[in-house]
Amino acid sequence: MSRNRIAIIVGSIREGSLNRKVARAICGSVPESLSCHIVEIADLPLYDPDLDNDPQPEPWVRFRREIADADGVLFVTPEYNRSIPGALKNAIDVGSRPYGQSVFAKKPAAIVTASPGALGGFGCNHHLRQCCVFLDMPTMQQPEAYLGHVSDEKFKEDGSVSDEGLSKLLVSLGQAFAGWVDLIRAGRAALAPDPSGSGR
């Protein structure tokens, strides 16, 4: 059985990021139908259209290639000032340009926001959903994933989740996203032109 390749983009570039721990935990709990890897964004120069002339910055080329090769994208991010972290917004800008050449288009997506606070990154989650609408990314609506009260104490030293409630939630999110990716890709295959020309 072929596995869907999932690019995980973590919105925090902080060493020891809680959201990176959440991302790794989700990656470790997804069904066998998904193959996940984290796509790094910390080294991406700020988007400047003038840099889109050859040669493009190597980190841009690398990032765009990794997203283009993916079958789906999982965003896992904190909230900064009730919105999207700057590094993540820059990654979105880099991947969506030049205009008409977005590497995000049509890729099924899901958004997970996690925070030590009670709101669980609600503002960022919905701002990011607005971006996904323009990026033409079919984004999973349910289950919603605003993870509040997430702390280092909920993870073991090896990065695994020590909190049973959080562990079950992350497993359910991974399973739901796997089903979403399968649904979107199956629907796209059903709408693809018949290569035989029979129309069946």
- 58 belongs to a structural domain: yes
* Amino acid 173: pLDDT: 95
Euclidean distance between CA atoms 165 and 168, whole angstroms: 5
- 200 belongs to a structural domain: no
Euclidean distance between CA atoms 1 and 154, whole angstroms: 34
Q: Where in the sequence is the domain holding 152, given as residue range(s)? A: 4-191
Residue 13's nearest CA partner among 96, 86, 104 is: 86
Euclidean distance between CA atoms 66 and 88, whole angstroms: 15
Euclidean distance between CA atoms 119 and 126, whole angstroms: 12
How, if at all, do strands 34-38 and 109-114 pair? unpaired
**CB within 8 Å of 91: residues ≥ 6 apart:** 9, 41, 44, 63
**CA 172 remoteness from chain centre:** 16
- 163 belongs to a structural domain: yes
* Amino acid 2: pLDDT: 77
Is-cis flag, bond preceding 116, omega within 30? no
Amino acid letter, 114: A
Per-residue pLDDT tens over the stretch 49-104: 999 988 999 999 999 999 999 999 999 999 999 999 999 999 999 999 999 999 99
The answer to whether 169 and 154 have CB atoms below 8 angstroms apart is no
- 199 belongs to a structural domain: no
CATH of the domain at 33: 3.40.50.360
DSSP letter at 184?
Answer: H
* Amino acid 194: pLDDT: 63
- 159 belongs to a structural domain: yes
The answer to whether 65 and 37 have CB atoms below 8 angstroms apart is no
Residue 179, token pair as written in the block: 């089903």
Q: Per residue of the chain (200 residues), what is the pLDDT tens digit?
A: 578 999 999 999 998 899 999 999 999 888 888 999 999 999 999 999 999 988 999 999 999 999 999 999 999 999 999 999 999 999 999 999 999 999 999 999 999 999 999 999 999 999 999 999 999 999 999 999 999 999 999 999 888 899 999 999 999 999 999 999 999 988 877 766 666 665 55
- 198 belongs to a structural domain: no
- 152 belongs to a structural domain: yes
Query: How many domains, the chain?
Result: 1
